[in-house]
A = this chain, B = another copy of it.
Amino acid sequence: MKKYLTRSYTDLTKEENFLSETLFHNANGYIGVRGCLEEGVLGGADTMRGTYINGFYDIIPMKQAEMLCNFVDKKETMLNVADTMTVNCVVDGEILDLLTGRVIKHTRTLDMDKGITKREVIWEAPSGKQIEITSVRMTSFEELSLFSIEYTVKALNFEGDIRIISVHNPDVTNYSDPSDPRLAAESMRNLSVKDIYADGASSIAIAETSVSGLRVCSLVHHAFMAFGGASVKDETTDILGKQGVFTGNARLTKGGSVTLEKICLFTDSVRAREPAGRAVRILDTVLSNGLNYYYKKQEAYLTAFWENCEMEIDGDADMNSAVTFNMYELLQSAAKDSYASIAAKGLSGEGYEGHYFWDTETFILPFFTLTNPALSKMLLRYRYSTLEKARENAGLLGHQKGALFPWRTITGTECSGYFVSGSAAYHINADIAYAYVNYYITTGDLDFMREAGMEVLLETSRLWTDLGCYNENGDFVLNVVTGPDEYTCMVNNNYYTNVAAKYNLCWTLKIHRLLKEAGMLGNLDERLGITDEELASFGKAAEAMLLPYDARLGINPQDDSFLSKPVWDLTKTPKDHFPLLLHYHPLHLYRYQVCKQADTVLSYFMFENEQPRDVMMKSYEYYEKITTHDSSLSTCVFSIVASRLGMKEKAYAYFGDSAKLDLLNTHSNSMHGIHTANMGGCYMAIVNGFAGLRVTEEGISLSPSLPKDWNGYKFKFVYRDRRLKVAIDQDAVTVELLTGDDLTIRIFGKQVELTKKQEKRIQMEE
């Protein structure tokens, strides 16, 4: 089945255009280019004309209204690095402008098999001359530095002159919106152009950040070609001020066309000592290979990608497309080298300033761990590289030992300006630990645990024991922390945090034991200062960990005092007052039982063995009534847990909300970038939710259900060097071991022996 997203605009609105910049962005995990119109801003519309490099940032001041001790007063921010996407044309003196003349056709397509975006426009100038413009863009997975545009103009009903102007502008700023706390409030000039020069058909620019001292090189190379009787008259590459400008003139015959091939390369000093030299070398390779080579490599890369993670939904084409789109966007967003991670908005926009949150480990890594564990490992290794900064962060917050990962960061430094729902969200420590454990359970890669996992588990465990203490009943308690739900902050014994910390502590002991049993500890104990006493203290804290439970309601309270607060009346809240965070002071929100997102409910997915089913069921029903889902991380979790608790219709309804969040812009901010965590959550809602996949120490189990509107669905995943395929329809679940050794799994609780290339069909249960 072809994988594509396409949209046609008969009368492009400013809002649609802004959103399409996100939906049709190109990214490869290293660079991301927003899908802005080549010809520039649609008159007066809002646009975020950005190109980003993952992990490339500047440091900007973050003034605190009152500067208390160790408050964070500067932050890293992802930079818009250059505009290389601008191309326009003049037809016999009439400049292309969608707002003048007549737009006969305007279609955009994201081709997820080929890894390109295509824009097709038929435009009639005021004079009646019609041209067809086709723009094909790609950010290459083969050559991460490469962004290309093939821009073709065809004369449909006339013969005349055409001029193509293409711009390379390294002198750019970031987008800003002072009214939205989720965006940068001020547009600052963080990059200064140090040099720009032409070299034949190329323009090469070096810009430097103002504080972090990083350098970025952008290089643009133009080739101008004529087809079908058209002829090129001249072409020049000039440096005008701080911009490189290519101008090509041609004569078009009716039906003839010209194509501008724009090779744009990005390199940076995080990865290369001499970014410009590196860009020039890459250009040589790219020109010698030719663009077609990269198109083919792109397609091959994606064939392999889909081969590992393909998911098909039979009977709901729309949902099938949405799910495919989400997985593709995750691939676009994920760093492919160890210098970066996955930002909350990927590389699709400036929302949340390119910061990495718990989103990466909790919502996105599970997808990669099940489909591309090598990539997961790289992302985990990146987090590991920030461990020293996490130790420093713990010190700033008064801890004597251990590491506390920052709530939002690029390089590992805490960049949260409002610590109450930032640094106080200690659960991120356990979320990261969970991702290491999940990676280990899924891959069996004990080597990586020795290399990195053990130290992360150890330092996070140390932090828990430094943070917590025993109360008078002998319970181990964690006070004054903020759980996942940001509408309740700085509480004691947030259920999610406590149960996640318990898991963290237990697995520190388990991994240590596994390494010991495998004779792989080496000098780890000595190097990391691990003692038996310390390990015993972890075990004791885990065992004594307070997990709030309310006997009267039979639920897990979100925290010690949550149930003592009044319930927010969501039925009386005006529709335009959502999301609540934009309409109510936090102090007000904190005073009610109202949740921005899944919190305790999330724990029932991640740590389901901690509570009996009826407690989870009652809690689910309780929290469902008071959750606004103002966070994009919420509905996917409610879907997964609904599946697990057997509430099929509910599971599907929440899944629907999650799957199309960006495509339908249901949170009204997709124009600032995609919601990567939700996309990962959407994947889990199918695989871990509907299909009931569980990957535990004991092995794999499935307990699938079929959403009632679907005829069936299938997906593939990898587990300990095996590839498996699962197909579910109304009658049966079919599992096939595609590669790897024989394996016993459980389906609906029953053991099923899998042998290579032999499908097993198990009857569906209610």
Given contacts A581-B69, A585-B68, A585-B398, contact A561 B561 (CB under 8 A): yes
Q: Does A72 contact B (CB under 8 A)?
A: yes
The 8 Å CB contact of A398, one of B396, B398, B561, B588, is: B588
- Tell me which residues across on chain B come within 8 A of A564, comparing CB atoms: 471-472, 477, 479, 492, 560
- Check A69 against B583 for contact (C-beta < 8 Å): yes
**Complex Cα spacing A201 to B151, Å:** 79
- Check A587 against B480 for contact (C-beta < 8 Å): yes
Q: Does A539 contact B (CB under 8 A)?
A: no
Q: Does A590 contact B (CB under 8 A)?
A: yes
- Tell me which residues across on chain B come within 8 A of A588, comparing CB atoms: 397-399
- Check B62 against A65 for contact (C-beta < 8 Å): yes
- Tell me which residues across on chain B come within 8 A of A591, comparing CB atoms: 467, 479-480
Q: How large is the interface on A (under 10, 10 to 19, 20 to 34, 35 or more residues)?
A: 35 or more
Nearest CB of B to A507, in Å:
25
**Complex Cα spacing A399 to B591, Å:** 11
Nearest CB of B to A686, in Å:
34
- Check B185 against A67 for contact (C-beta < 8 Å): yes
Which segment, of A379-387, A419-427, A597-605, faces chain B? A419-427
Q: Does A584 contact B (CB under 8 A)?
A: yes
- Check B590 against A65 for contact (C-beta < 8 Å): no
Q: Does A574 contact B (CB under 8 A)?
A: no
Q: Quick one: closest B residue to A417, CB to CB?
A: B65
- Check A418 against B63 for contact (C-beta < 8 Å): no
- Check B68 against A581 for contact (C-beta < 8 Å): yes
- Tell me which residues across on chain B come within 8 A of A65, comparing CB atoms: 62-65, 71-73, 417-418
Given contacts A65-B62, A588-B398, contact A490 B490 (CB under 8 A): yes
- Check B471 against A398 for contact (C-beta < 8 Å): no
The 8 Å CB contact of A585, one of B62, B70, B586, is: B70
Q: Quick one: closest B residue to A397, CB to CB?
A: B585
Q: Does A66 contact B (CB under 8 A)?
A: yes
**Complex Cα spacing A712 to B70, Å:** 49
- Check A417 against B69 for contact (C-beta < 8 Å): no
State the main secondary structure of chain A at its contact with B.
loop
Q: Does A469 contact B (CB under 8 A)?
A: yes
- Tell me which residues across on chain B come within 8 A of A7, comparing CB atoms: none
**Complex Cα spacing A226 to B581, Å:** 71
- Tell me which residues across on chain B come within 8 A of A420, comparing CB atoms: 420
Q: Does A566 contact B (CB under 8 A)?
A: yes
Given contacts A398-B585, A419-B587, contact A561 B479 (CB under 8 A): yes
- Check B66 against A587 for contact (C-beta < 8 Å): no
Q: Quick one: closest B residue to A185, CB to CB?
A: B67
Interface residues as binary, A492-514 with B (CB distance below 8 Å gives 1, 0 otherwise): 10000000000000000000000
Given contacts A64-B417, A65-B65, A181-B67, contact A492 B561 (CB under 8 A): yes
- Check B67 against A469 for contact (C-beta < 8 Å): no
Q: Quick one: closest B residue to A566, CB to CB?
A: B469
Tell which of A62, A68, A72, A417 has the most Cβ of chain B within 10 Å: A68
**Complex Cα spacing A560 to B563, Å:** 13
Nearest CB of B to A29, in Å:
28
Interface residues as binary, A47-91 with B (CB distance below 8 Å gives 1, 0 otherwise): 000000000000000111111111111000000000000000000
Q: Does A189 contact B (CB under 8 A)?
A: no
- Tell me which residues across on chain B come within 8 A of A489, comparing CB atoms: 490
Nearest CB of B to A713, in Å:
41
- Tell me which residues across on chain B come within 8 A of A272, comparing CB atoms: none
**Complex Cα spacing A419 to B178, Å:** 20
22 residue pairs bridging A and B, Cβ less than 8 Å apart: A63-B65, A64-B64, A64-B417, A65-B417, A66-B418, A67-B178, A68-B181, A68-B581, A69-B581, A69-B584, A70-B584, A396-B585, A397-B587, A398-B585, A419-B586, A419-B587, A423-B587, A469-B566, A479-B565, A480-B590, A489-B490, A492-B561
Beyond the given pairs A69-B584, A70-B584, A472-B564, 8 more chain A to chain B contacts, judged by CB atoms under 8 angstroms and listed by A's residue number, are A62-B65, A67-B185, A68-B581, A69-B581, A399-B588, A419-B587, A480-B565, A480-B591
Shortest beta-carbon contacts, A-B, top 7: A65-B417, A398-B588, A66-B418, A66-B417, A70-B585, A63-B63, A469-B566
Interface positions of A (Cβ within 8 A of B): 62-73, 178, 181, 185, 396-399, 416-420, 422-424, 467, 469, 471-472, 477, 479-480, 489-490, 492, 560-561, 564-566, 581-591
